[in-house]
Structure formats: C-alpha cells, structure tokens
Amino acid sequence: MLLNIKNLHVSINNKEIIKGLNLGINYGEVHAIMGPNGTGKSTLAAAISGKPGYEVTKGEIVYKGINILGMSPEEISWEGIFLGFQYPVEIPGVSITNFLRAALNEHREHQGLKPLTGSEFLSKLNEKKKLVEIQSKLTNRSVNEGFSGGEKKKNEIFQMAMLDPTLSILDETDSGLDIDALRIVANGVNTLRSEVNAFLLITHYQRLLDYIIPDFVHVLYDGKIVKSGGKELALFLEKKGYNWIKEELID
C-alpha cells in the first residue's frame, strides 16, 4: 500500500478537526474525497504534507511503509508527496522558473542526481508547459502573483507535472476553472496517471470526476470518513446532497 492512514486525529490550536480518520491508497489508484465545507478536507491534506501547526494527536500516516509523522514538509515532498493547494500563496518577485528550478534540483539532490543544466531544465519546462497548455508568459511571472483563480490552479498542476510525484493530493484544483481549463487539468492528471503513482482528489463537484474517473469516492464528515464507495457515490451525492448522510449518521 502506498499510503495508509490509521486512526488519525489532528488538532489546530487545540481544536480537534480530524477525529479518527482511516484511509488506504494503493499504487495506481485515484481516490476522491468529498464532503461539506469545513469538515476537514484541507486539514487532512495539510496534515499529510506536514504543515507546521497541524498537530497529530493520535494515529499514524504510513507512506511507502514509513511513518512520515514528524518529517519536515520538504522531506515529505522529496519522498514524492505533492499537494496542490486550495489557495496557492503569492510569492512576489520569485519567478516560477526560478522557483521550480530550485525545487527540482533539491529533489534531485535528495535522489543523488546531478542538478539539471540550464538547457535540460528548459526543455523539461517546455515539455510540461505543453501538457497543461500553460502560457509561456506565465512562467516568467512571480509565483501566483496577480494570477487569476484559474491560472493559479493550472500553475499547481504544472508544478505537479514538473516534480513528478508519487502521491498527488489535489485540493479543489477544479474550483474556479473554466470548462476548457477543467478539461486541460483533467487531461494532465490522466496523462500522468500510472501504475507507479496515485491521486487523492478533493472536490465538491461530480464534474471533475467525469473527466478523471476515480476508483474510490469517500465522504468526509466531521473529521471522519463516513461513507466510501465507487464512482457512483459521487453521482448520488450530486443528486442528493449530504443531508441523507447526516440523517443516516444520527440513526
């Protein structure tokens, strides 16, 4: 198993947000997590990536057979976990190109590889740009600065393509995308999808799952996964909303 989360409890500022969550992901699988606003989806993603301030009070996150709790965010990144942020932050003055060059080379250093030369890097950059149909101009601009909502999300996918992660967690990467952009993003994911990696999609809409067919769909509610199923669960949720789950839970 690639990722195995067992009885995870996460608190922020002493407030428990994730309350005993279990989730297993195998190589080659695509999982989707849905659930009402504020139930802890982004918190889960942040906890997996080792975000400071997210205190794991109980449970473990086993990734590639090792418990990654306590590892620094960059170590987790080097191990191949990528987080596509729900709200990507702006970093003024730092061009995407420089940013990715730094990231990629630190990854390579960790893998014992030589840093890419300028031209190697450039050709990789151009190749991946095509994949997500990202405009050339964009990569010369500062990271996320002044990007439109959709551009920010595309930029996340572009970075994912560049860093070639094993486990990609995409937190609402579909929100704010126009129809074409959604197709492009989905295309990107589908192209990268293989037997040696896996995806965890956090989304509110069935629409994305039309393009990226998930193997499993989970509902996160009040810090726990309360329902899991196949891709048909998403269709059902789209029609019925979450109230029936809440009612079921009360019973």
The footprint of ligand ATP (CB under 6 A) covers 12-13, 15, 17, 35, 37-43, 86
| 86 in contact with Mg ion (CB under 5 A) | yes
| 63 in contact with another protein (CB under 8 A) | no
| 98 in contact with another protein (CB under 8 A) | yes
Nearer to ligand ATP, 164 or 222 (CB): 222
Q: Which two tokens stand for residue 93?
A: 């003055």
Distance (Å, whole) CA 54 – CA 56: 6
Q: Find the distance separating the first CA and the last CA of the chain, reported in whole Å.
A: 33
> Residue 78: which of ligand ATP, Mg ion, another protein, none does it interact with, CB under 5 to 8 A by kind?
another protein
Q: In what order do the strands lie in the sheet with 15-25?
A: 15-25, 3-12, 54-63, 66-67
| 138 in contact with another protein (CB under 8 A) | no
Closest-approach residue to Mg ion (CB)? 42
Distance (Å, whole) CA 156 – CA 19: 29
Stretch that binds another protein, among 35-43, 89-97, 211-219, 223-231 (CB under 8 A): 89-97
Instruction: Provide the 8-state DSSP code for 165.
Output: -
| 94 in contact with another protein (CB under 8 A) | yes
Residue whose C-alpha is closest to residue 225's, from 76, 25, 12: 25
Distance (Å, whole) CA 91 – CA 156: 14
Identify residues 34-53 at the interface with Mg ion (CB under 5 A).
41-42
> Residue 192: which of ligand ATP, another protein, Mg ion, none does it interact with, CB under 5 to 8 A by kind?
none
Distance (Å, whole) CA 154 – CA 79: 23
| Contact residues for another protein, defined by CB under 8 A | 49, 51-53, 72-74, 76-78, 82-83, 85, 88-89, 91-95, 97-107, 110, 115, 118, 121-122, 142-143, 159, 163
